[in-house]
Structure 1
Amino acid sequence: MSGETAGTADGARAEKSRTEATRAETIRAEPIPTARLELVPLEVGHAEEMVGVLGDPALHRFIGGAPEGLEELRARYARWEGGAPEAGTSWCNWVVRERDGGRLVGTVQATVAGGVAEVAWVVGTARQGRGYAREAAGALVGWLRPRVRGVVAHVHPGHAASAAVARAAGLVPTGEVLDGEVRWEFPG
């Protein structure tokens, strides 16, 4: 009986150690202010406004898919809020809000695993051309850099505006293509 108890105690300590290691690797979204914007950790409640922001089919030209309805977007945001199912992986998602007026204009996200953050950004069609994606993505990469060892993004080779955002955020193209998109990464 005492061997079983000792084994259980050792198992509990090992599990606690694994849990603490996983927690140490977990990165959580927190507010990130910029000059004109605020990156706000995404919540299910943002879906109502975001369904309009993301509702233009032209927005999906390079990323694929189609605009989601309100219930679909709520369900996706609920999954994201629940966190990544894989141990050691963090899903960090933000809505991008204008500081003046408080309107939501897009999203940025980072999936962090193994010390590398894969980032993405989208700004709704109505707010494009104002430098919001550049400002939000730059702030995201700046926030991530001291927390991770690498930052990568994948950009469709025909999406010049997104390539300009990646470049402004300090990423450089690698020439590697995955699923038709060019891998960009932070040098160093």
Structure 2
Amino acid sequence: MTPLTQWPLAERLTTSRLSLEPLRAEHAPEAFPVFDDARLHTWTGGKPYTLEELQARYTFQAGGTSPDGSQGWLNWMLRRADDGRLAGTVQATLYRTGSGEVEASLAWVVGVEHQGGGYAGEAARAMADWLRTRGATSLVAFIHPDHEASAGVARALGLTPTDEVADGEVRWSDSGH
């Protein structure tokens, strides 16, 4: 494992069924219909972005770091290998803990039409494995306590729920795996 002196940039990753493409602003028009579904906000709140909002968000996120440089932002679009369609996204926010280690806060969203096929778990595993080879010393995710599908993904990554709750979501952690 290489210690992080600066934040890594997302690289293309592949699994048996997916290509994880580093996020680009140009993904917005293709991604918009995948994420323009209020059901995706059942557990996280909010509402779908307009195309213009999504384009602006992707432009901002694709920069790879927070404006002050204190966080690394890694975002990938999930493209199905069999038909080339975008199916979702995975992301990691990297930051240094009080002890100086690098923690990665993970998230995943799969479009409703593509849910139930294991894409979130497959992509999250590829991302987690890549992060560990890039110096991430621990992985966490914040998951609504009733969101069983996301809890399943977290368990498959070796994360376990903690007693910490933030904004109604339970912090899951691999405790420095």
TM-score between the two structures when normalised by the length of structure 1: 0.85
Unpaired segments ≥5 residues, structure 2: 97-101
Partner of 1:11: none
Identity of aligned residues (%): 51
Larger radius of gyration: 1
What residue in structure 1 maps to residue 99 of structure 2? none
Please tell me the residue identity of whatever aligns with 1:48.
Answer: P
- 1:1-188 to structure 2, matched below 5 A, reads 24-82=5-63, 83-114=65-96, 115-146=102-133, 147-188=135-176
Cα distance in 1, alignment partners of residues 62 and 13 from structure 2: 18
SS in 1 for 2:72: strand
Length, aligned pairs only: 166
**How far apart, in 2, do the equivalents of 1:179 and 1:86 lie?**
24
Higher fraction of helix: 1
Alpha-carbon distance in 2 for matches of 1:62, 1:28: 29
Quote how far apart the aligned CAs of 1:47 are: 0.4
Which runs of 5 or more residues in structure 1 are unaligned?
1-22
1:144 to partner: Cα distance = 0.9
- Secondary structure of 2:146's aligned partner: coil
Output the aligned Cα RMSD. Answer: 1.2
Aligned counterparts of 1:170 and 1:145: Cα–Cα separation in 2: 13
